[in-house]
Amino acid sequence: METIKAYGAQSATADLDQLSIDRRDVLATDVKIDILYCGVCHSDIHTARSEWGPAKYPVVPGHEIIGRVTATGESVTKFKEGDLVGVGCMVDSCQTCDSCKEGLEQYCENGATFTYGSEDKHIGGHTFGGYSEGVVVDEKFVLSVPENLDTEKVAPLLCAGITTWSPLRHWNVKKGDKVGVIGLGGLGHMGIKFAHAMGCHVVMITRSPGKADDAAALGADEVLISTSEEDMQKHANSFDFLLNTIPVRHDLNPYITLMKRDTTMALVGAIEPLDSMHAGLIVSKRKNIAGSMIGGIKETQEMLDFCGEHNVVSDVEMIDMQNINDAWDRVVKADVKYRFVIDMKSLKEA
Ligand code: NAP
Ligand code: ZN
């Protein structure tokens, strides 16, 4: 075992602070990774603050990990020392259930092992994420990262990227479709970039008029201010697909009225009870309200390869590990453009 530096929260109300964690020795199928960068996802905050139910403390968050391979187990075939790699939200799954066999490890019937907060089946306790110097992961859950991309801007693809890519693909969004992305944060900005790259007519649906210029630069064809009755009327019954990234409880009904007959709104943000939905709004036009969680490993690799080919990366604001508490406050205030990424050098040198 190796003891390394990390950042974590000791309780739901505590700030994040430096602490030590243990990483297992490299097993036969393991890849040891020196972490260069880690993205900051709103899920890190929900988890550490026990907003999604009681968390196991200390919480060491981080599931948008980019790093270099420093060692490999003797049975590893996909990676070698020096490779640029990524790790997302999962580090293991049963590999035997129907979901795993279909490459949908995130829906593992026996419960996937998430990068942080899951039972650690190797050294006991629970798993610790990427707000740390390094990590040891089974090669099945390690992704190849295209070297041509700007490495600092790649980390968010591992969660914000795949979480928006997967529903766009699953619901067969295609060229010319009118796609609405609700909420311009980490997930939303990747949703715009992907829908734009897929040739869709993209509408950014936001409460924040100040983000309109950015939305256009990210690839949005139009901006709909959700608090404007006039804008909502103008776009009623017009969308082929909606991707809803709102992170908290909210009223779905106004968004349902934007959908055409037979279309889908995929929820990827809130995972709590929502305000009551008016069933008449979906019954009367055969509309679908659906959900989606991250994406499988194969699909994540496809997304990264697509990004390599089309030069798609995130818009990031780099921070030092020591500034994480301020960064979290800004994420909660929807004041991030559009993903914070931690430069792990700051932790290594601390
Ligand atoms: P984020 O950066 O905080 O972005 C969320 C955006 O939603 C905000 O920038 C804001 O955009 C909008 N928003 C915030 N509060 C709102 C409210 N009360 N009503 C309407 N809009 C609101 O968060 P993120 O990292 O993109 O994550 C979004 C959510 O997805 C989080 O809950 C996160 O935990 C979850 N998540 C889910 C998965 C999954 O697998 N399903 C994966 C990763 C993350 P505007 O200013 O444009 O309105
Ligand atoms: Zn995430």
pLDDT given at position 327: 98
Neighbours of 289 (CB within 10 A): 18
Range 155-179 burial, b when 16+ CB lie within 10 A, else e: bbbbbbbbbbbbbbbebebeeebbb
Helix axes 160-170, 186-197, angle to 10 degrees: 50
Considering the domain delimited by 161-291, tell me its CATH architecture. Answer: 3-Layer(aba) Sandwich (3.40)
CA angle 151, 3, 59 (to 5 degrees): 70
CA angle 13, 18, 23 (to 5 degrees): 110
pTM above 0.85, yes or no: yes
Measured in Å, residue 65 CA sits from the centre of ligand 2 at: 11
The preferred substitution site among 163, 187, 226, 303 for testing ligand 1, maximizing ligand atoms within 8 Å of CB, is 187
Residue 81 burial (CB < 10 Å; 0-12/13-18/19+)?
Answer: exposed
Output the CATH code of domain 2-158+315-348.
3.90.180.10
Same fold, 2-158+315-348 and 161-291: no
Domain boundaries, the chain: 2-158+315-348, 161-291
User: Residue 70 belongs to what H/E stretch?
Assistant: strand 65-72
Q: Which of 132, 137, 27 is nearest to 87 (CA)?
A: 137
Neighbours of 97 (CB within 10 A): 16
The preferred substitution site among 207, 211, 341 for testing ligand 1, maximizing ligand atoms within 8 Å of CB, is 207
Q: Distance between CA 91 and CA 107 in Å, rounded?
A: 13
pLDDT given at position 82: 98
Residues β-bridged to residue 223: 204
* One-letter amino acid of 33: I
Nearest alpha carbon, ligand 1 atom 18:
248
Q: Answer whether 244's CB lies under 8 Å from 255's CB.
A: yes
The SS3 of residue 149 is coil
The secondary structure of the chain in percent helix, strand, coil, rounded to multiples of 5, reads: 30, 30, 45
The CA dihedral of 19, 160, 163, 134, to the nearest 10 degrees, is -30
The separation between CA 274 and the C-alpha centre of its own chain, rounded to angstroms, equals 21
pLDDT given at position 252: 97
Neighbours of 198 (CB within 10 A): 19
Measured in Å, residue 279 CA sits from the centre of ligand 2 at: 30
Question: Which two structure tokens, joined as six digits, stand for 238?
Answer: 């017009």
Nearest alpha carbon, ligand 1 atom 1:
185
**Positions in the chain whose pLDDT score sits under 50:** none
Q: Distance between CA 121 and CA 308 in Å, rounded?
A: 34
Relative to the alpha carbon of 186, which ligand is closest? Answer: 1
